[in-house]
Amino acid sequence: MNGIEFFHYPCDGGPSLAWGLRVDGVDLRARTAWATRELWQPELEDQFEDQERESAELIWRQHDGLGVLDLPEDPFGRAGARGTAGRVPVLGCSCGIGRCWALTARVESTPLTVTWSSFRQPEREQWGELPLGPFVFARTAYETALRSPALLTADPLGPAPAGLGV
């Protein structure tokens, strides 16, 4: 089983809060950056003056958490809820409009587990299913983490690591 942590952190430098999450201790935004790095390459090649650093920042910060106020009462498909076309947004866009550049996953619940699989970027259908997951969580641990997200004072993602850019 995978571990999951949900948390809230300030976004947009103001009082707004976003949902963040870690799978097995790693921010899902970091996992997504590494999973999409090669997919970005054709689009980002020769696009920036400082290619390595600027492409790394774009890839690293491509997603943000979903706005706390933007989510339904049952976020992240806990009770088997579905988003568009049977998919649930799990990350939003760094512009603040969650559905602009959402990362979606198929969320399936059983009495014992919650499974996130088939991660996709709807704005890049040509990428197909991303090399991410599937993640299987114990349902009781998932629901407990979802009910009591930690409140952080800052976005925990940090700077883009060296070697991420194209």
pLDDT of the chain along its 166 residues, tens only? 999 999 999 987 666 788 899 999 999 999 999 999 999 888 887 776 677 788 788 889 998 888 877 665 656 765 544 444 468 889 988 776 656 788 999 988 888 999 999 999 998 999 999 999 999 999 999 999 998 999 999 999 999 998 887 6
**Residues β-bridged to residue 26:** 23
Check residue 73 and give its pLDDT. 60
Instruction: Write the single-letter amino acid at 145.
Output: A
| pLDDT value at residue 21 | 94
pTM of the predicted protein model: 0.89
The whole-angstrom separation of Cα 56 and Cα 105 is: 24
What are the distances in angstroms from CA 41 to CA 21, 73, 78, 161?
26, 38, 35, 17
Residue 85 pLDDT: 45
| pLDDT at residue 106, rounded to an integer | 92
In 10 A of CB 74, how many CB atoms? 11
The pLDDT score that the predictor gives to residue 81 is 44
Of 57, 3, 1, residue with least CA distance to 27: 3
